[in-house]
Structure 1
């Protein structure tokens, strides 16, 4: 009830009033059943604008700390994040990546729409980065399609490092569902999962028009920070970073 109140009465109308948005491909969102909504990630506001324009509720994964902070501020955070479709992930019992994967699969099997950012974090430079294979594992384990979604212009609304939201036009392009049923039973095969993740990123590149770089976004940020600080960082010929799905960021950091 709180989610629909924020979407249709409070937050949703405000976003549509000040940030006119062109949306294409809404018919590609299934009316029922579980599916992964895989989006590029340019700004914190992505998690607010996308659900506003999709009729079905989209659930995003968020750190459980957002829901357990004490005091009035903590209660407001819990109210707000719950109302905007965030779902808490308990990271105390192991790795954050595995907790997110387990929770994501459970929600998908319940027939939910799960919002995922395959890059794992916001793009530090506006380009599209290598996707993490956690999205592939969830799709295979839950046996659901992946719907690619491109957010365009949100980085101008809420640039990295800015706490302001600037009036700008936004575009949301929703692609046709990607069916990976041909890989049923192959969850855990790293070559299959990498192939799926790469196919998702290719579709996002086509929809968004972004330049693609074959490096993780977190690594790109590390290299950019090192360059800004004037230090040298060794770049291996091939990234061997462990693939995992990070929970979507919802705070300005």
Structure 2
């Protein structure tokens, strides 16, 4: 009931304000379980995709969104529950992964749609990064549910980092044909199968999105960018300090 009310209010508002276009809605089954595997450009991806679908989509969210104290924390928890997100404790990497997989399987066992971002985090620069194999592949192989590739288009342009007010523009959503991996069932412990399944899904997402593909993990790319920014800042500070020191020497 909460999800239905939130979908009507939030989904209707998003569609009215941003008028997202969508292709491939016919690939979403009217009933039964399916995994929606999407690229990840913006925080808003988890809101625009459910807004254009008639069925509920459940995503995984950080447990902190559901446990923060105070009035703001309660409102945040109610919001995320209302839009169909499930809390997962990420305090331990291995435990968090298992918790996420178990949550996903429960959603699919109910015959619902489960949404996942194989990249594991938002793209730092709009390019498509290597998919992490453990989550998506294991959920697909353990559940037998079809994987539907999804491409979010231009959502990162609506509210770039540092911008408070979103830009009113039309994002897009392109949905591909379902992928069947039941031929690999019983092989969910094989890491080479994990890699093969994930790479096939990422290839389909790349075709749908038109993004440049980068064969490293997005987390590694973010770390490289952070290190480069840190090095540039340190170099600028050294240069500024050298100029200041030289000026002081000349004044003396």
- For the aligned pair, the TM-score class normalised by the smaller chain equals 0.7 to 0.9
Which structure 2 residues correspond to residues 192-231 of structure 1 after superposition, within 5 A? 192-230=193-231
- Where structure 2 has 5 or more consecutive residues not aligned to the other structure, the ranges are 233-252
SS in 2 for 1:230: helix
SS in 1 for 2:195: helix
Aligned residues: 230
Greater shift in the superposed pair: 164-173 or 69-78: 69-78
Q: 1:106 Cα deviation (Å)?
A: 2.0
Which of the pair is proportionally richer in helix?
2
Say if 2:82 is the partner of 1:83: yes
| Bigger Cα Rg | 2
Structure 1 contact 58–114 (Cα < 8 Å) conserved: yes
> Aligned partners of 2:63, 2:227: CA distance in 1, in Å?
31
- Where structure 1 has 5 or more consecutive residues not aligned to the other structure, the ranges are 232-253
Correspondence for 1:152: 153
> Aligned partners of 2:85, 2:19: CA distance in 1, in Å?
24
> Aligned partners of 2:163, 2:142: CA distance in 1, in Å?
38
Structure 1 contact 43–160 (Cα < 8 Å) conserved: no
TM-score by length of structure 2 reads 0.87
Structure 1 contact 147–174 (Cα < 8 Å) conserved: yes
Which structure 2 residues correspond to residues 174-189 of structure 1 after superposition, within 5 A? 174-189=175-190
Greater shift in the superposed pair: 61-70 or 40-49: 61-70
Structure 1 contact 43–154 (Cα < 8 Å) conserved: yes
Correspondence for 1:11: 10
Correspondence for 2:117: 117
Superposed CA RMSD: 1.4
Correspondence for 1:164: 165
SS in 1 for 2:173: strand
TM-score by length of structure 1 reads 0.87
Correspondence for 1:42: 41
Runs of 4+ in 1 over 3 A off after TM superposition: 90-94
Q: 1:68 Cα deviation (Å)?
A: 2.1
> Aligned partners of 1:124, 1:95: CA distance in 2, in Å?
26
> Aligned partners of 2:163, 2:100: CA distance in 1, in Å?
28
Structure 1 contact 63–88 (Cα < 8 Å) conserved: yes
Greater shift in the superposed pair: 83-92 or 103-112: 83-92
> Aligned partners of 1:158, 1:203: CA distance in 2, in Å?
26
Q: For residues 107-127 of structure 1, what are the alpha-carbon distances to aligned partners after superposition, in whole Å with 9 as ceiling and x for unaligned? A: 212212111000000000110
